[in-house]
């Protein structure tokens, strides 16, 4: 009987491409019911339970057998068995929309993987990918990219199947942010590997994602063909999670073709599958699509019903408590790994007092980091020259944090005065518009805080410099949105005028700091009713970026030492704004770090123009990175 069991496991699990298939899970459940309490040894019992959890496409069933696998392995001192059980448990929780619990489980996987890397060679990379996937679902783009890059480094020269999955996920990140050429590149690369390995479910997801890119590009025939092939393949394996996603996108395609009845058919089928299997993310997405389609048909009752359902599921997935738990989980893990006291702060409240408190706490965290770095290097008897370099890096991070947050935060003072004025004037309609502006401002400021803290945690005595493809158009738009309230407070016309699509090959964080610093300074030294403009064009292999203002200008003697740090004295702006005196030196250093150049021209009383030259992105650089 024992030999027969081994043969069945081999035929049902390994010969079918080692992919999830509910039919395999059902067959293994039959074996479990008949033999689990019989003559199976510990190894065979563990493999049976794990195989059920792995192959099951029912999240609740997967959770049950994953927990059984974990408990059994803990009792038998099998840490690799615990790792395998945790990974399946995290996957099931993710599909059910319990993202905070899933992230906590995957961080446990990463801890165990690092201890067992010599035994399970690909587990570190796979855990990093799973963590990146959760951040991707939450829309935390920078965190997702960071962990995908760590995964690529961990997987280089190892398992081709896992590497193809990382390529598929990277393509999905690029797709979500509208970088369609990069998305298509990674989707097609993953498809080739999956086909070579005869990995059916991987080929299906690659085909479906390629279809999504074609749909965005307006190639509807190719899009529908690829997505239908993906749905047919996934249906054979009863993978309703993927089918529900692609059916919603099929509804998108028919909506763009103005075939609303067909679009409703696909969206309704997606909703039915999502409800049947408790897939919260797909219920949310299908609800939004059905609401939009019924609104187009002027069926207001149905549109309103599905919109309420969309809001309910959206809030249940992305509520503040979930986001805070996720931030706490990541902080706990990284503090344990680095042995440093790091408090990750998130600005989720919509009032000026909470925002200011968050900035204060952030400064405390950075101060603690600086003290820890100082103590560590003192204990290791490092040279005084290296200690000075670390302190300079800390000071520059303080400058970046203060400079980048001062403008957006100070703009709330003007908003509060406007709210008081409108309340006294009883103009309540405009209060709703201001509330929306506050929501947008707080959301962008929260994202900026997260990004700056993440960046600060990556530095170890120096600024990280990781060149990648970056859209200048998107960065310019984001800066205009972030500093909009600051400009409106001084009645300054702030806008970006970039007529062509420009992609840079630079480090994203330092380049955003360069542009934010220059635009913020332009606003600072421009009087009321003035203008600040971001312009850009491509020239050969460089992008030429100009920050123009109609401000007070700079005298000739100051222009000669503009980018030199001398006495750290700050110059007050036209409305009394104050800085730290480090901004332009950082701009100069960061431009050099990104292989760029900066020039400035100015006339007192008429304005200033900063001209920056940065390298353009080319596909040869993309291939080198891949």
591: domain CATH number is: 3.30.565.10
Q: Are residues 379 and 520 in the same domain?
A: no
Is residue 7 domain-resident?
no
Give the pLDDT of residue 486: 77
Per-residue pLDDT of 273-306, as tens digits, reads: 889 888 888 899 999 989 999 999 899 999 899 9
Q: What is the mean pLDDT of residues 406-418?
A: 60
Residue 328 within a domain? no
Which tokens is 148 given? 């995908």
Residue 138 lies in a domain: no
582 close to 566: Cβ distance less than 8 angstroms: no
Domain-embedded: residue 50: no
Per residue, the 3-state secondary structure of 542-579, as one string, reads EEEEEEEECCCCCCHHHHHCCCCCCCCCCCCCCCCCCC
pLDDT of residue 511: 93
Across 138-166, average pLDDT: 79
Tokens of 567: 């006495």
Q: What percent of the chain has pLDDT over 70?
A: 70
The reported pLDDT for the residue numbered 333 is: 55
Q: What is the count of structural domains for the chain? A: 4
572 or 98, higher pLDDT? 98
Q: What is the CATH number of the domain that holds 300?
A: 1.25.40
Six-digit token pair at 447? 């994202």
Both 258 and 300 in one domain: the answer is yes
Look at residue 86 and tell me whether its pLDDT is greater than 80. yes
Residue that finishes a domain, picked among 432, 464, 496: 464
Q: What is the mean pLDDT of residues 149-171?
A: 79
Better-scored residue on pLDDT, 571 or 310 = 310
Task: Report percent pLDDT > 90 for the chain.
Answer: 17
In a domain, 117, yes or no: no
Q: Which of 314-318, 399-403, 523-527, 613-617 has the highest mean pLDDT?
A: 613-617
Token readout for 339 is 């042995």
Q: Out of 425, 446, 464, pick the residue that ends a domain.
A: 464
Residue 375 lies in a domain: yes
pLDDT attached to residue 107: 92
Clarify whether residues 347 and 428 are in a common domain.
yes
- Residues 480, 625 within the same domain: yes
Bridge partners of 539? 542
pLDDT at 551: 92
Least confident interval from 138-142, 201-205, 525-529: 138-142
Residue 391, domain member (yes or no)? yes
Biggest distance spanned by C-alpha atoms of the chain: 93
CATH number at residue 221: 1.25.40.10
Digit-coded pLDDT (tens) for 520-578: 889 889 998 899 999 999 998 999 999 999 999 988 888 877 776 544 455 656 655 55
Q: Helix count (H) and strand count (E) of the chain?
A: 26, 7
The average confidence (pLDDT) of the chain is 77
pLDDT for the residue 1? 32
Domain with 225, as residue range(s), is 161-232
Query: Does 218 share its domain with 255?
Result: no
Whether residue 477 sits in one domain with residue 432: no
Same domain? For 350 and 216 the reply is: no
Residue 492, SS3 per DSSP:
coil
Same domain, 433 and 451: yes
| Tens-place pLDDT, residues 27-84 | 777 777 766 555 677 777 778 888 888 888 788 888 888 898 888 889 888 888 888 8
Query: Do 494 and 560 lie in a common domain?
Result: yes
Question: What is the structure's pLDDT at 117?
Answer: 79
Q: What is the pLDDT of residues 347-362, one digit of tens each?
A: 455 555 667 666 777 7
- Specify the higher pLDDT residue, 249 or 426: 249
More confident residue, 280 or 24: 280
Let me know whether 356 and 494 are in one domain. no
- 12 in a structural domain: no
Helices 42-55, 22-35: axis angle to 10 degrees equals 150
C-alpha torsion 170→470→158→190, nearest 10: 40
Q: Which of 464, 489, 510 is a domain's end point?
A: 464
- The answer to whether the beta carbons of residues 248 and 285 sit under 8 Å apart is yes
Would you state the pLDDT for residue 212?
87
DSSP secondary structure string for all residues of 260-319: HHHHHHHHHHHHHHHHHTT-HHHHHHHHHHHHHHHHHTT-HHHHHHHHHHHHHHHHHHH-
CB 266 within 8 A of CB 251: yes
Q: Please give the angle made by the CA atoms of 314, 318 and 319, to the nearest 5 degrees.
A: 105
Beta bridge partners, 543, equal 538, 614
Query: What would the pLDDT profile of 470-526 be if each residue is shown by its tens digit?
Result: 999 999 998 898 888 778 778 899 999 999 999 999 999 889 889 988 998 898 899
Res. 397 pLDDT band, cuts 50 70 90: low
Q: Over 70: is that where the pLDDT of 458 sits?
A: no
Residues 599 and 554 in one domain: yes
Considering the domain architecture, whether residues 560 and 540 belong to the same structural domain is answered as yes
Instruction: Report whether pLDDT(88) > 90.
Output: no
């Amino acid at each position: 009987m024992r030999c027969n069991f081994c043969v069945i496991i081999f035929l049902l699990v390994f010969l079918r491409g080692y992919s999830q298939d509910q039919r395999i899970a059902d067959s293994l459940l039959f074996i479990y019911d008949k033999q689990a309490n019989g003559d199976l040894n510990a190894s065979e019992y563990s493999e049976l339970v794990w195989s059920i959890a792995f192959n099951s496409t029912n999240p609740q069933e997967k959770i049950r057998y994953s927990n059984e696998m974990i408990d059994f392995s803990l009792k038998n001192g099998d840490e690799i068995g615990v790792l395998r059980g945790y990974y399946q448990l995290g996957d099931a929780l993710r599909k059910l929309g319990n993202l905070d619990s899933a992230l906590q489980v995957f961080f446990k996987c990463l801890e165990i993987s690092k201890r067992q890397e010599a035994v399970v060679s690909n587990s570190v990379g796979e855990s990093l990918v799973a963590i990146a996937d959760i951040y991707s679902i939450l829309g935390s783009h920078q965190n997702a990219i960071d962990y995908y890059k760590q995964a690529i480094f961990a997987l280089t020269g190892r398992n081709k199947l896992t590497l193809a999955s990382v390529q598929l996920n990277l393509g999905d990140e690029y797709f979500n942010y509208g970088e369609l050429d990069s998305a298509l590149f990674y989707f097609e690369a993953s498809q080739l590997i999956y086909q070579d390995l005869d990995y059916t479910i991987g080929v299906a997801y690659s085909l479906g994602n390629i279809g999504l890119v074609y749909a965005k590009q307006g190639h509807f025939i190719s899009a529908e063909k690829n997505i239908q092939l993906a749905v047919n393949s996934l249906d054979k394996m009863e993978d309703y999670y993927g089918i529900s996603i692609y059916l919603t996108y099929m509804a998108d395609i028919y909506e763009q073709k103005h075939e609303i009845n067909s679009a409703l058919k696909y969206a309704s089928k997606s909703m039915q599958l999502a409800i049947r299997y408790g897939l919260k993310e797909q219920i949310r997405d299908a609800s939004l699509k059905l609401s939009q389609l019924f609104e187009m048909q002027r069926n207001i009752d149905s549109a309103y019903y599905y919109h309420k359902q969309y809001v309910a599921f959206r809030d249940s997935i992305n509520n503040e408590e979930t986001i805070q738990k996720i931030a706490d989980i990541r902080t706990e893990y990284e503090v344990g790994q680095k042995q440093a006291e790091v408090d990750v702060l998130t600005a989720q409240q919509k009032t000026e007092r909470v925002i200011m408190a968050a900035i204060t706490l952030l400064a405390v965290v950075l101060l603690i980091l600086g003290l820890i770095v100082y103590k560590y290097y003192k204990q290791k008897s490092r040279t005084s020259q290296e200690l000075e370099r670390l302190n300079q890096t800390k000071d520059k991070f303080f400058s970046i944090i203060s400079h980048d947050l001062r403008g957006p935060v100070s703009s709330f003072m003007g908003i509060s005065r406007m709210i008081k004025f409108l309340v006294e004037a009883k103009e309540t309609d405009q209060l709703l518009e201001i509330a929306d502006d506050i929501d947008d401002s707080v959301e962008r400021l929260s994202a900026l805080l997260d990004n700056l803290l993440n960046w600060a945690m990556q530095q170890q005595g120096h600024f990280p410099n990781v060149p990648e493809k970056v859209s200048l158009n998107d960065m310019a738009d984001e800066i205009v949105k972030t500093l909009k309230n600051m400009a409106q407070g001084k009645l300054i016309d702030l806008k970006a005028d970039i007529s062509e699509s420009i992609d840079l090959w630079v480090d994203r964080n330092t380049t955003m700091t360069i542009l934010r610093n220059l635009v913020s300074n332009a606003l600072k030294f421009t009087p009321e009713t003035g203008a600040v403009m971001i312009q850009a064009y491509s020239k050969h292999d460089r992008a030429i970026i100009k920050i123009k203002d109609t401000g007070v200008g700079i005298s000739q003697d100051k222009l000669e030492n503009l980018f030199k740090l001398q006495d750290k004295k700050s110059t007050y702006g036209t409305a009394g704004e104050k800085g730290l005196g480090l901004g332009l030196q950082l701009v100069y250093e960061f431009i050099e770090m990104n292989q760029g150049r900066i020039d400035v021209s100015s006339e007192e009383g008429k304005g200033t123009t900063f001209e920056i030259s940065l390298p353009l992105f080319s596909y040869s650089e993309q291939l080198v990175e891949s």
